[in-house]
Each structure stands twice: as structure tokens, then as C-alpha cells.
Structure 1
Amino acid sequence: MLVSQLLLPVYTFTFLFGLPANILAFCTFCRKVHRKPTPIDILLLNLTISDLIFLTFLPFKMKEAHDDMIWTMPEDLCPLSSFMFFSTIYISTLFLTGVGFERYLGVAFPIQYSVYRRPRYAVISSVVFWLVGGLNLSIVYIVPFLPSNSSSVNGSVLQPSEKICYNNFTQEQLNILLPVRLELFLVLFCIPFLICGFCYINFIKILSRLPHISRRRRLRAIGLALGTLVVFAVCFGPYNASHVVGFVRAESEDWRDLALIFSTLNACLDPVIFYFSSATVRSAISGFVKGIREKVHVLKCKTIQSCS
């Protein structure tokens, strides 16, 4: 199947690259939050946790893609893996929006924000983001138990030997699921994207007018803002667009799995945002790379000595 052939290498690359990068970011933010918590670090830590949960359950999707999208694992793992997979996608959009909002307040209202800047507000926001994302995606558990009088799934009879995980729905199920997907598009994608766009566009405008910031620092901050917006649109836009198209056409679009490729890659791109957002992360990565180089150098010296 073409879809599985495309998904499997993307899932594998995301897992192999994203897992160590996010583990490094997680350890770095944990130390920083423990030492001196700041709102931006708390938000980035939660974003990292969301990505790590996503990557933890990604192997189930890798196995599914390897089996040509046929679910061969225990049935109980299907709703669990789907819930974790999809909920963390939307939770990431909320935390990316929170990071953008925090950055905007820091440059637009520096004095007022420094007075009211408290880590507990970031903790409260994080709890709200987790609850909103989790409750909205609880539809993954509800849909399979909706009453249905139809034996057909998306117009075709489901063969006993086939087990498709959260991809074939009866008409009764679609009548509930499609409006919920539209709500996800409006509430968990459009609103966060508009807020993120407003914050970063004004962030860029304000930075462009500040004379006391070095050109290099200004360009790095502007590049980070533009990069975050591009990541937001490219990674989450196609998948959420499938919700709108599916609602209009009253069916679950077959290309939703292909759109998930971009959302999956977000787990690789978030560490790039961490790198440019936090000097601590940059220092940790530099130290990690330096340590690897030193070990390689020692191994080379030992090899040369043993050969001579």
C-alpha cells in the first residue's frame, strides 16, 4: 500500500531523530525549571513532554504502517495509541501558542509583564492545555461505542480478517465524528494559529524598532518567530484541512493519513525551536557534541597507538 510505504520511513525518521533530541531537551528544561523556573521554560518543558508522549506511542503507528494499515496488535491498544497520538498533536499547538503569547507579552509590555510574571500562571495554563486537549480528543474512545444499525464501513463491508484502527466508520458514527473534527479545526487549530500569528507578527514589528538589540540577536529572534509560524502552518494545517473537507463532503477523507506526515514531523522540528528559544538548550547541545567529539578523539588515539 502506497500510504504505508510513505508513512513508515517518516515515522521511523521522526522516532530516531526526535526521541534523543527531545530527551536532551527534557533533561535540560527539568534542570532549569528545578533551579530557577520561568514561564517560558515551564511551557517548553510541557511541550517537550507532549512530544515525548507522542514519540512513545509512535512505534504502534510504525507497526500499523508496516502491516499495510491493518491492526494486528491487541484491540485495546488501538484507542489508547490513537488517543495519545492525536491528543498530543493538538496539545502541542496549544503550547506553541502559549510560548508565542509569552514572548509577545515580554516585548510588548516588558515592565508590566515583569511585575506579574509568575511561574504559577504558566503551570495553571499548562494544566488547562492538557485538559482541553485530552477532553476534546476523548471522542476517540466514544466513537467505537456509538450505536449503529449499519453493517457497512465507509460504504464497504468490513471483512472479518481485516482490522482497521480508527479509520473506518459507519454513517451513524460519521454523523457524530465529522462535526467534532470541525470543532477541533476551529477551536484547537484556527484560534491558536490566529493568536500565534498576531503575537509573532507584532513581536517582529516591535523587535524591528528596538535600537538597543544587536542585529544578530534581532535576526535570530525574528527568524525564530517566522520559523515557528511556518512550522505551525505546515505541520498542522494539512491534517486540520482534512477535517473541513471531510465535513463538507460528509465522509472521512482517505488522504488524512498522508496529511499526518506533516504533523508527525513536528516532533523533529520542535527541538529546533527549543535550540533557538533557550540558551540553556544551546549550551547543553554544545556540551553534548563536544563530549562526543572528545570520545571520538580518544578512540582514534587508542586505535592509532594499537596499530603502531
Structure 2
Amino acid sequence: FSLWVLCWHIKPKTPSVIFMINLSITDLMLASCFPFQISYHIQSNHWSFGKTLCSLVTVMFYSNMYSSILTMTCISIERYMGVVYPMKLIKWRRKRYAFAACLGMWIFLLLAFYPLESTDLTYEVKELGIITCFDVLKWDMLPNFAAWVAFLLTLFVVLFLIPFIITVGCYIGIIRKLIQTSNRYGNRQKTRSIYLAVIVLLVFITCFAPNNFILLVHMISRLFYSRSFYPAYKLSLCLSCLNNCIDPFIYYFASKEFYQKFMQVFRPKVLLSDSLETRRESLFSGRTMSARSMSSGPMDGLEGVKVCLQRQESVF
């Protein structure tokens, strides 16, 4: 529904709308991985779809999760430029720059996850008679220890920590600007911007932060201490998938056009019933008034005849 509204019912395609379309596509691609993951865990962590599909699903899952983080950061930057510096940075708020940002984002993610793309992520556990998919970490996936450190820093610092700091800074600047110029922007826009900031920060803190912190701890423990936080890491992956359910609220508060279309689709029955009730009441009141006028008309006529007769009697 979100992708349908954003693509075919919102015009013009502003940079914010383009970023939201990218976020919606990301959610759709991430959701396409769920059937494979569900089947995998139902079969007691046995992967029955082959090596290629294991790598493809793994790369899609993680790249789309980090794509959501980067896209939310782009939305916050675009809104910051529009609210705090509407005239100075207007040349940067163009569709071609939004398209370029989305394209650059996906290229960077595919390069960052190249080790996952080029490695057989399946592992046969003969004792249990199962084949796992990206549950047993293969150390030969990267050439040396320095490469592992660079990979972990890219995931945690570049793809999570820096975007999180930028997003928080942008929304703090937006709220401060709206408070200073509340008469200009109005209370409604200020309220919507505050709601949007709260929702985005909630997604970062609830969905993305636990997974990235536990992943960092899990990798460091495996590299240096031969310990594992695998159950906690799997639980945090479930939390990271919740952003698919929260993203529609971002569209709702970030785009006025999406809000209007949403209300048109989900409230027509309420509006129709209200209008029918209003028409029924007006029709009933109209009939009542006409009945009263008809009932009062003859009485006035009879009283007029009586007065006339009285006048005639007084004359004679």
C-alpha cells in the first residue's frame, strides 16, 4: 500500500518522497526474505535452498536493514535543509541528488557486503545432519585480522553510529527551529515534525541499536575470547525486523500527501455515514417544518374568518 501511494498518488516527486520510495522498496525486499528464514528455523536451522540462495538471502537481509538506516538519515538531512536553511540549500534539494544518493547508497552496501557475496555461507553439521546458513562464521571469509577489524568498523561505525548521530542532530535542529518560529510554521507542522523525530529515534533505539551493539560484542568475543552471544544476536535480529511495521508511520508524518491519501482510503465509510446521517437529519427537520407550516396555515385562516365575521357583526 505504501509503495502504491508513494509511486502513483503523490505528485510531485520531491526528494523526501524519493527517499520514502526507496525505504518502501527496502521494506518489501526485506519482507521477501522472511519465508526463507521462517522455513530455515522451522526445520531446526536446516537450509534446503542451496548455496547461492543462502548468500543471496543473507546479503538482501543485511543490506536492506542498513539501507533503512541510511535512508532515514537522508530523510532527516533533507528535512533539516528544508526547515533550517530553506533558501540557502534549495539547490541541493532536487530529485537528481536524491536519486544519486539512493544509487550511491546501494553501491556502497553491495561493496561493503562483498565478503558475504563471494563466500559459501553454508556449513554442514554432520553430527546433527543439517546444513546451516550463516550461522557458523567462516574465518576464511576475510584474508586477515585487519580485514575483519575493517569489516566490523564499517558495519558498526559507518553504517550505524555515524548515521544515528547525524539523524539525532538533524531532528534536534529541526525541533529547535520550529520552536523559535512557531508562528510561521504553525502548531500542526511542529507537532508532526516532533512525532516524526520520535518515531525515527524509536526505530533506531529499539530496532537497530540492539542488533548492532550485540553484533559488535558477538564478533569481538568470537575473535578474541572464543565466546559466543548467538542467542542474543538472533533475538536482536527479530527486533531489527520490526522497523518494517513502524516505517508506515514515518510516511504518515513525513508526507502530507501520504497522510491525505491514507485518510481518503481508510475513512470513506466514516465520512459517508456522517454525510448520510446529516442528510437524514436535514430531511427530517425539513419535513417537520413543512408539517408545522401546514398545520398552522388552516388555523390562521379560520382565525381570520372569525375576525372578519366579528367585524361584519359589529358593522351591522
TM-score tier after normalising by the smaller chain length:
0.7 to 0.9
Work out which of the residue numbers 224, 237, 243 in structure 1 matches 2:209.
237
- Take 1:292 and 1:267, find their aligned partners in 2: how far apart are those partners? 27
In the other structure, the counterpart of 1:50 is 26
Cα drift, residue 231 of structure 1:
1.0
Contact 2:199 2:249 (C-alpha < 8 Å) held by counterparts: no
Cα drift, residue 39 of structure 1:
0.8
In the other structure, the counterpart of 1:148 is none
Matched, 1:187 2:164: no
Work out which of the two has the higher radius of gyration on C-alpha atoms and give 1 or 2: 2
Cα drift, residue 180 of structure 1:
1.4
- Take 1:132 and 1:291, find their aligned partners in 2: how far apart are those partners? 43
Cα drift, residue 292 of structure 1:
7.0
* SS class of match (1:159): coil
Instruction: Tell me the TM-score normalized by structure 2.
Output: 0.76
In the other structure, the counterpart of 1:213 is 185
Matched, 1:70 2:46: yes
In structure 2, the CA distance between the partners of 1:42 and 1:61, relative to structure 1 (3 Å rule), is same
* 1:243-282 equivalences in 2 (<5 Å): 243-249=215-221, 250=223, 253-254=229-230, 255-282=232-259
In the other structure, the counterpart of 1:105 is 81
Gaps of 5+ in 2: 274-316
Contact 1:143 1:177 (C-alpha < 8 Å) held by counterparts: no
In structure 2, the CA distance between the partners of 1:126 and 1:172, relative to structure 1 (3 Å rule), is closer
- Take 2:112 and 2:186, find their aligned partners in 1: how far apart are those partners? 43
Cα drift, residue 160 of structure 1:
6.7
- Take 1:29 and 1:157, find their aligned partners in 2: how far apart are those partners? 46
Cα drift, residue 168 of structure 1:
0.4
- Take 1:241 and 1:142, find their aligned partners in 2: how far apart are those partners? 25
In the other structure, the counterpart of 1:16 is none
**Which stretch shows the higher mean deviation, 231-240 or 215-224?**
215-224
Contact 1:70 1:164 (C-alpha < 8 Å) held by counterparts: yes
Work out which of the residue numbers 117, 130, 135 in structure 2 matches 1:167.
135
Instruction: Look up the equivalent residue of 1:212 and give its one-letter code.
Output: R
Cα drift, residue 43 of structure 1:
0.8
Instruction: Look up the equivalent residue of 2:160 and give its one-letter code.
Output: F
In the other structure, the counterpart of 1:300 is none
In structure 2, the CA distance between the partners of 1:127 and 1:171, relative to structure 1 (3 Å rule), is closer
CA deviation string 1:172-231 (max 9, x = no partner): 448555651332111100111111111111111111111322223312211211221121
Gaps of 5+ in 1: 1-23, 146-152, 297-308
In the other structure, the counterpart of 1:133 is 109
Instruction: Look up the equivalent residue of 1:209 and give its one-letter code.
Output: Q
Matched, 1:202 2:173: yes
Identity rate of aligned residues, in percent?
30
Q: What's the RMSD between the two structures over aligned residues?
A: 2.7
**Which stretch shows the higher mean deviation, 72-81 or 47-56?**
72-81
Q: How many residues align?
A: 264
CA deviation string 1:240-276 (max 9, x = no partner): 1123212431255302111101110011111111111
In structure 2, the CA distance between the partners of 1:157 and 1:69, relative to structure 1 (3 Å rule), is closer
* SS class of match (1:111): coil
Instruction: Tell me the TM-score normalized by structure 1.
Output: 0.78
* 1:6-25 equivalences in 2 (<5 Å): 24-25=1-2
Instruction: Look up the equivalent residue of 1:275 and give its one-letter code.
Output: Y
In structure 2, the CA distance between the partners of 1:178 and 1:79, relative to structure 1 (3 Å rule), is farther
Bigger relative contact order (CA 8 A; separation at least 6): 1
